[in-house]
């Protein structure tokens, strides 16, 4: 623990009140694009971006990415894009949302290219395709490029301010509260409209690695579902949480396998050298199977004693290997380090693969806010874009930009710039300040740290809600246990202890994560079929049941009792 940070008391926390037209919560891919879009279309509209880290390197794009995976290459159309994703997600997707994303993908990518993103091109000047819907980029600096636009737009950027709750009067969102970790300031930011763009949730389940390597995970470890928790607390409707995302990644370092499979044509092979997708799993579609089956087949191979499984890159020339390292450096440098740890002169032939722990997010899969096609949430004054919106999977970074564009257009149409903001109830401000600073006062012997709570949460979710140790499998009994144990865990929240701002943020994050886990468990409990293997495998209901379950599982948390109500909605 750093010695230069002192124990604080509440008197030292300042309160700063700000007013703006549009508040953007979260300065990641969607948030930065939204700020730029807003100021471009309405220069007189005031805008604040609230960001928990520093927008230059925050969110999912902090390391960079080496491909844009949602782009319509020649031959692809919005219809073919929607059909592809509908098939990947076994029919349960929001086609209206996906279509609106597909229509806007190419123009946002061209816009970001204009901001300085290098995109690989062939001799004729066309983008180099990595797949039908994927192009190659040099995206190591993509996040600083987006951040630069947000800063230059004239929006006010509040770095190192952690969002804690929405300002909500029971009817309408009119701003948000935040805790400034550098200036020890409690921010009360009132706004005419709020765009939530905080991304998904990681660190809910026990990760692949422990201790000294525990945060070397696929999804950003600091995306902890704060936006989901803030939404459920005010009764916003959520959808498809049970559609968890489990990535097939390079073992230990969690490097992307797409760079190997799509990028250099590496085949998935098992321990006895069989190309198992085509040799054993034609029933799933062989090498052309949908994404969850690549992982499911890998787990089946392991269970059958033919693991570990690998991606075979023995066919690559030295030049191709070097290019491969470059691609990884722009997206996930740790795999290059792993290879160097084995010796630079060693010929790389196979890369071991495995599944990650499950994540809750709406960029690769479809957990998130239930929104209309204009990205209004079910709460007045609150809009959503990016990984936090549900029902529109595989939108990735470029889809998040399109959603940012759509939501800003809606906000500008909905708000009256000359109108007044509803006054905040002073007692609400005091209550929230008390809630978030409570961990500073817990110093009795029963107190617990955020890290201890995290270990408990992850153990419960891993063992009873389908984590790695159970091959992602779920059943009724285990989910009931998970539900009870999470309730028990909630009872410990009052004992959370923090001695500095870093630990305080850890406490706020674990509260958010437990609340997200509760919603997740209810969703998993209610879908009584197996729709997406690994993402949602019910061993007590092993078959897909299109008669009853071609439906969305949605939820609303009751704002007074805290109870989660499940709503089944028909496909639209």
Partner 1 sequence: MIYIDKNVCNGCGKSKETMCERICPGDLLFRNNDKKADIRDQGACWVCAACVKACPRHAIELKLPLQIGGNGASLNARVSKGETIWALKDLKGNVEEFKIKSWVDRDKEGCPALISEKADKV
The residues of the shown chain that bind partner 1, judged by CB under 8 A, are 1-5, 53-54, 56-59, 62-64, 114-118, 138-141, 144-145, 147-148, 151-152, 154-157, 159-160, 181-182, 209-217, 220-222, 252-253, 322, 325-326, 329-330, 333-334, 336-338, 340-345, 502, 505
259, containing H or E segment: helix 258-264
Crossing angle for the helix pair 142-152 and 95-114, to the nearest 10 degrees: 90
Tokens of 537: 């495998």
Nearest to 22, CA basis, from 162, 229, 196: 196
Task: Report, in Å, the least distance between residue 131 CB and partner 1.
Answer: 22
Q: Give the Cα separation of 305 and 270 in Å (integer).
A: 10
Nearer to partner 1, 117 or 262 (CB): 117
Residue number, 38 or 82, with CB nearest to partner 1: 38
Nearer to partner 1, 59 or 439 (CB): 59
Least Å from the CB of residue 201 to partner 1: 15
Strand pairing category for 14-25 and 185-196: parallel
DSSP assignment letter at 428: H
Select 300 or 508, whichever has its Cβ closest to partner 1.
508
Residue 365 in contact with residue 92, Cβ under 8 Å?
Answer: no
Q: Which is nearer to partner 1, 327 or 522 (CB)?
A: 327
| Pair 247, 218: CB distance under 8 Å | yes
Rounded to 5 degrees, φ, ψ at 458 are -70, -35
Q: Which of 160, 523 has the CB closer to partner 1?
A: 160
Cβ contact 96:391 at 8 Å: no
Strand partners, 161: 180
CB of 446 to partner 1, least distance (A): 24
Minimal distance in Å, beta carbon 262 to partner 1?
A: 19
**Is 558 in contact with 565 (CB distance < 8 Å)?**
yes
CA neighbor of 52 nearest in space, from 464, 502, 470:
502
Q: Which is nearer to partner 1, 347 or 480 (CB)?
A: 347
398, 68 Cβ separation under 8 angstroms: yes
CA distances from 283 to 83, 286, 311 (A): 21, 7, 21
Phi and psi, residue 364, nearest 5°? -95, -45
Q: Minimal distance in Å, beta carbon 321 to partner 1? A: 11
The DSSP output letter for 30 is: H
Name which of 156 and 287 has its Cβ closer to partner 1. 156
Q: Which residue's CB is nearer to partner 1, number 383 or number 440?
A: 440
CB of 493 to partner 1, least distance (A): 21
Neighbours of 456 (CB within 10 A): 17
């Amino acid at each position: 623990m750093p010695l230069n940070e002192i124990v604080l008391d509440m008197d030292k926390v300042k309160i700063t009140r700000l007013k703006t037209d549009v508040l953007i919560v979260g300065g990641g891919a969607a948030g930065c694009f939204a700020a730029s879009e807003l100021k471009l279309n309405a220069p007189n509209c005031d805008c604040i971006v609230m960001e928990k880290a520093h927008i230059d390197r925050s969110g999912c794009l902090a390391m960079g990415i080496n491909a844009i995976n949602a782009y319509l290459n020649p031959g692809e159309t919005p219809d073919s894009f929607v059909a592809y994703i509908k098939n990947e997600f076994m029919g349960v997707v929001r086609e209206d949302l996906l279509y609106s994303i597909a229509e806007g993908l190419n123009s946002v990518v061209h816009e970001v290219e204009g901001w300085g993103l290098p995109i690989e091109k062939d001799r004729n000047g066309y983008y180099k395709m990595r797949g039908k819907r994927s192009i190659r980029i040099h995206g190591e600096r993509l996040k600083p490029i987006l951040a630069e636009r947000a800063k230059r737009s004239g929006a006010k950027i509040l770095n190192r301010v952690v969002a804690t709750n929405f300002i909500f009067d029971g009817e309408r969102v009119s701003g948000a509260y935040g805790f400034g970790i550098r200036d020890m300031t409690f921010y009360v930011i009132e706004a005419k409209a709020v765009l939530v763009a905080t991304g998904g949730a990681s660190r809910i389940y026990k990760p692949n690695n422990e201790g000294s390597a525990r945060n070397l995970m696929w999804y950003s470890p600091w995306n902890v579902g704060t936006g989901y928790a803030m939404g459920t607390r005010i009764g916003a409707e959520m959808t498809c949480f049970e559609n968890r995302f489990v990535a097939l990644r390079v073992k230990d370092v969690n490097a992307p396998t797409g760079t190997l499979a799509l990028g250099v044509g590496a085949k998935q092979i098992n321990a006895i050298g069989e190309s198992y997708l085509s040799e054993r799993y034609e029933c799933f579609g062989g090498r052309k199977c949908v994404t969850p089956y690549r992982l499911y087949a890998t787990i089946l191979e392991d269970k059958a004693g033919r693991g570990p499984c690998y991606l075979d890159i023995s066919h690559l020339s030295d030049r191709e290997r070097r290019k491969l390292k470059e691609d990884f450096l722009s997206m996930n440098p740790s795999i290059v380090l792993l290879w160097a740890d084995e010796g630079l002169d060693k010929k790389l032939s196979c890369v071991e693969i495995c599944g990650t722990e499950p994540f809750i997010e709406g960029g690769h899969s479809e957990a998130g806010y239930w929104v209309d096609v204009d990205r209004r949430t079910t709460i007045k004054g609150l809009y959503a874009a990016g990984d936090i919106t549900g029902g529109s999977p595989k939108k990735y970074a470029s889809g998040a930009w399109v959603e940012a564009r759509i939501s800003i257009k809606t906000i500008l149409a909905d708000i009256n710039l000359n109108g007044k903001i509803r006054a905040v109830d002073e007692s609400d401000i005091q209550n929230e300040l008390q809630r978030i600073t409570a961990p500073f006062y817990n110093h009795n012997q029963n107190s617990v740290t955020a890290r201890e709570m995290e270990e408990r949460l992850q153990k419960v979710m891993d063992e009873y809600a389908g984590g790695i140790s159970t091959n992602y499998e779920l059943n009724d009994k285990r989910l009931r246990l998970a539900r009870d144990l999470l309730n028990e865990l909630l009872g410990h929240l009052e004992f959370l202890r923090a001695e500095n701002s870093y630990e305080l943020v850890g406490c706020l994050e674990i509260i958010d994560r437990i609340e997200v886990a509760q919603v997740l468990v209810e969703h998993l409990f209610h879908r009584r079929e197996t729709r997406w293997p690994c993402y949602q495998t019910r061993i007590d209901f092993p078959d897909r049941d299109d008669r009853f379950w071609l439906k969305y599982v949605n939820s609303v948390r009751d704002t007074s009792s805290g109870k989660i109500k499940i709503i089944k909605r028909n496909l639209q």
